[in-house]
Amino acid sequence: MTETEKGCDFTELKEWCLAIPKIELHAHLNGCIRDSTLLELAEVLGERGEIVFDDVKHVINKYGRTLTECFQLFDLFHILATDHETISRITKEAVEDFAAENVVYLELRTTPKNNETKGMTKRSYLKAVINGLRSVESVNVSFINPNGRTESFYDPLQKGGLTVLEKKRIYVRLLLSIDRRETTAAAMETVSLALEMRELGVVGIDLSGNPIVGEWNSFFPALKYAKEMGLPITLHCGEVANKKEIQAMLDFCPERIGHACFLEDDDWEKAILLKIPIEICLTSNLRTERLSSIDLHHFGKLFKAKHPLVLCTDDTGLFSTSLSNEYHLAATTFGLDKESILQLSTNAIHYVFADNELKKTLREIFQAYDKRLVDDFSL
């Protein structure tokens, strides 16, 4: 019997999913822009005559989107958020939004961009992201100092940012994304930048972008180089049916894969044998019509098989979702009780790309939350 069937109130479960500490490992910066910010940016560009505001407004407010429409929208987002200042702003807002959701560790991924007209290079883009992290004031953001030392705001007296008296804290690390549209040289540039910026909190590489664009062979050299240099890698894998590429990706043994909607039985056998953790994005897969109904999602069978899984949002702005919403959706669809939900969120610690010291801190945060629950029950 599910928690809901046992009479657990729907709203109460929703609030509980919001309250528990959570880890977000698959979130694209430009997919997490607030609608209000997008509209504001569009209005400014509209006034300058660079876009037709009414056309853009209609697109931003649209609810259902196919996968192809999502990628058209990303092109629009990239037009709206082109300058350094805006990149810093959307980073700041994304971190604030995840912290408000009680996300205690965030791996934010983004594609470094060159844009000559704005005087932007991949390096300056990334610096703008880091400036955005530094500018957050409403919560304590813990990332890595230029000297490579992890800033630790961890205070054992304020376990996991759960008291209301002090600011919440969120640990943030960055993944640099290679867009499938990029050339091998551009992908290589991103990996070099990630290596250079390791001391500033870059912990890995992601391969993303429109899954029907680009060839595995053109990304492979950069991904191989990243792997040789010890950078963990996560790949968008099987977002569309592409048997050959899925096989090549699994043979590459990435540290994690995202989506995995179109793996066939033999692919699953391999993924399970290799214990590759899967970043599950329920709402994204549903909204982009990767499956006809949420209860058919592969989360169900993987969860039963105890395969390493982590629930993620993908693009909170684009899909109007949040991490607590994803936990609630998983709980109500697959009949998870609170213990299983908390276990699922705690297990994510195993799959983060951050170092062991930070994993230990995260374990302490989750243990403190567990202890608080036990204390609450004994009242």
| Residues at the site binding ligand 6MZ, with contacts judged by CB under 6 A | 28-31, 70, 74, 110-111, 177, 179, 208-209, 236, 239, 284, 288, 314-315
If you write DSSP's letter for every residue of 188-213 in order, what string do you get?
A: HHHHHHHHHTGGGTEEEEEEES-TTS
The three-point CA angle 122-314-207 to 5° equals 45
Catalytic residue among 189, 239, 245, 279: 239
Of residues 101 and 279, the one with the C-beta less far from ligand 6MZ: 279
In the Cβ-directed half-sphere of 231, how many Cα atoms lie within 13 Å?
A: 31
Task: At 199, list the tokens.
Answer: 């001391």
Q: Please give the Cα distance from 57 to 38 (Å, whole number).
A: 9
Of residues 179 and 267, the one with the C-beta less far from ligand 6MZ: 179
Q: Is 96 a catalytic residue?
A: no
For 166-185, letters b (16+ CB in 10 Å) and e give ebbbbbbbbbbbbbbebeee
**CA dist list (Å): 336 to 300, 304, 339, 346:** 10, 11, 8, 15
The phi, psi pair for 203, rounded to 5°, reads -115, 0
* Residue 358 CB coordination number (10 Å): 21
Of residues 96 and 314, the one with the C-beta less far from ligand 6MZ: 314
What is the maximum span of the chain, computed from C-alpha positions, in angstroms?
63
Residues tagged active-site: 239
